[in-house]
Amino acid sequence: MTFKSIRLDTGWELAVYETATSTSDVIFSHPAPHEGLCVLAREQTKGRGRLGRQWRSERNDGMYLSLALTPARAVQEWPCLSFVAALALLQSLKSLYPDLPAGLKWPNDVLIAGQKISGILAEAKGNLFVLGCGVNLKNAPQVRDAHFPPTDLHAQTGEILAPELLAEQFLNHFYHLYQEWQVTGFSAQYDLYKTHLLFLSETISVTQGDKRLNGVMRGVTKTGDLLLEQADGTLEAITTGDVNLVRFSDATGN
């Protein structure tokens, strides 16, 4: 059941639930999902992240939010909205904590001092595009051997932020970027996204299932593909994958 409803300055409405399997599930099961339908849950029992991973969603430990959109642009451009969402989340965190050492890890993770604080999942069904956003506010899970271990906002700032406050900040920033995207596409935010992109000119590995590519990160295209410079100097455009820094010990792939 809806716990409360918050009318946002943008005209969108944020519905807050006590619990949900996932906030994206709530939107997809809605009898009439519409643009600007925003759902926040105190906890998720089946939260999920990219590539089918589970996103831990304990009660009041994070911001668990989904947003429904019906974009006017061509469906091929919709995936770039996850980049726009990551940028909006970064702007939200920096507006609250200007000195936070935060940046973007391709494609749409926010890192603080090399630790992962958020995840974004994009899903589409018909003309409906849903962005799910999870942010660790406190009690980040412990993950062994993670290249970018989880962190939370409390650990980074000493403050415990209310999920509703961060959700309102995020949705406000995203709304304005989204209106711009509707007119011009990702090219409008391309330079700003690159400004906050981590690991440019560094040696990285990109994992795609059982396949791993090593190379130097040279940026992203205006359609959001990662540009990887390989040993022979050729550039490969990567559409999807997990990015990690290559340590000296595994530069050969070992």
CATH superfamily to which 2-195 belongs? Bira Bifunctional Protein; Domain 2 (3.30.930.10)
pLDDT reading at 97 higher than 50: yes
Lowest mean pLDDT among 56-60, 93-97, 225-229: 56-60
pLDDT, mean of residues 175-204: 95
Q: What's the confidence (pLDDT) of residue 49? A: 59
Q: State the pLDDT at residue 118.
A: 94
Q: Could you give the percent of the chain with pLDDT greater than 90?
A: 79
How large is the average pLDDT for residues 228-253?
79
Question: 251 pLDDT band (50/70/90 cuts)?
Answer: very low
Strand order in the sheet with 13-17: 2-7, 13-17, 37-41, 62-69, 128-136, 118-125
So what's the pLDDT on residue 161? 95
- The crossing angle, in degrees rounded to 10, of helices 187-195 and 163-184 is 130
CATH hierarchy code of domain 203-250: 2.30.30.100
Q: What torsion, rounded to 10 degrees, do the Cα atoms 91, 155, 202, 211 define?
A: -100
Please state the domain extents for the chain: 2-195, 203-250
Q: How far apart are CA 111 and CA 153, in angstroms?
A: 11
Band the pLDDT of 245: cuts 50, 70, 90. Answer: confident
Higher pLDDT, 52 or 32: 32
Q: Residue 198: name the closest of 78, 113, 84 by CA.
A: 113
Give the pLDDT confidence score for residue 246 in this predicted structure.
Answer: 84
pTM comes to 0.91
Which residue did the predictor score with more confidence, 206 or 58? 206
How confident is the model over 127-153, as a mean pLDDT?
91
DSSP lists the bridge partners of residue 117 as: none
- Largest Cα–Cα separation, the chain: 57
Decide if 2-195 and 203-250 have a common fold: no
Mean pLDDT over residues 191-215, rounded?
93
